[in-house]
Amino acid sequence: MEEHKLTPTLDGSFTIFSERFQAGFHSHFGALSESQKVYIEYGLNFLSNSGQKDIRLFEIGFGSGLNACLSIQFALSHNLQMDYRSIEQYVLRQEQIDQLYELEQFHFPYYKRLFNEKKVELTKYIQFQLIHADWLHYLIHWNPNLIYYDAFAHSSQSEMWDIKQIEKCYSSLTHQGILVSFCSKGQFKRDLKTLGFTVESLPGPRGKREVTRAIKT
């Protein structure tokens, strides 16, 4: 059986359904709208509006690369310097990636280069690296100022939300560094506070009441 299935979502964009985890990569209400709101608006745009023009971004769960594509487009249009590193254990096959990006309503000329494990210099100011590894056994030897915590939901993969995993994010983030996630579970927010984050619950995209932004203070 095919492990990943291409699936339309209600805003007209596409996502992938994982048979292994019985979970979609994004909300079925809208992959693009979710990514735009949670990661771009509450994460990248918020950080850049605070005056930070040098973005060091780490993502947990590269998936279809949608967050990465939107972030790179944002960095290009806002003249940001960006080093984007993303971890993924189950990298999609080339045909699936091509199918997905042919259907998407937005055009992203760099997408093929992102699925290659080597570090890529997309422009003089924008670098990207896909780390093909298991997050559960990975340590971040780096200091990002922004983290996208985009693992599958707790109901599909509870081990990804263990406080040990979140702690790795807290330790590596710079002072005032930001973690954003679609997850608004009470235990997740309590763990973030226990670790020392200041936690905000923000209005979610369609179909989701709240999402989370945590700042290392």
Ligand X SMILES: C[S@@+](CC[C@H](N)C(=O)[O-])C[C@H]1O[C@@H](n2cnc3c(N)ncnc32)[C@H](O)[C@@H]1O
Task: Identify residues 174-193 at the interface with ligand X (CB under 6 A).
Answer: none
Which residue number, 57 or 173, has a Cβ lying nearer to ligand X?
Answer: 57
Q: Verify binding: residue 88, ligand X, rule CB under 6 A.
A: yes
Three-state secondary-structure class, residue 112: helix
Task: Identify residues 9-38 at the interface with ligand X (CB under 6 A).
Answer: 25, 35
The 10 Å Cβ neighbour count of residue 50 is 11
User: Cβ-closest residue to ligand X?
Assistant: 63
Q: Least distance to ligand X from the beta carbon of 123, Å?
A: 21
Task: Mark the segment that binds ligand X (CB under 6 A) among 88-96, 118-126, 164-172, 199-207.
Answer: 88-96
DSSP characters over 14-82: EEEEETTTTEESS-TT-HHHHIIIIIIIIIIIHHHHTT--EEEEEEE--TTSHHHHHHHHHHHHTT-EE
CA distance 58 to 126: 14
Among 89, 99, 127, 129, binds ligand X (CB under 6 A): 89
Among 40, 42, 58, 61, binds ligand X (CB under 6 A): 61
CA distance 104 to 151: 22
First-last CA distance in the chain: 46
Q: Which helix (H) or strand (E) holds 96?
A: helix 94-103
Q: Least distance to ligand X from the beta carbon of 155, Å?
A: 12
CA distance 5 to 61: 17
Among 117, 134, 162, 210, binds ligand X (CB under 6 A): 134
Q: Which residues bind ligand X (CB under 6 A)?
A: 25, 35, 61-64, 66-67, 87-90, 134-136, 150-152, 157
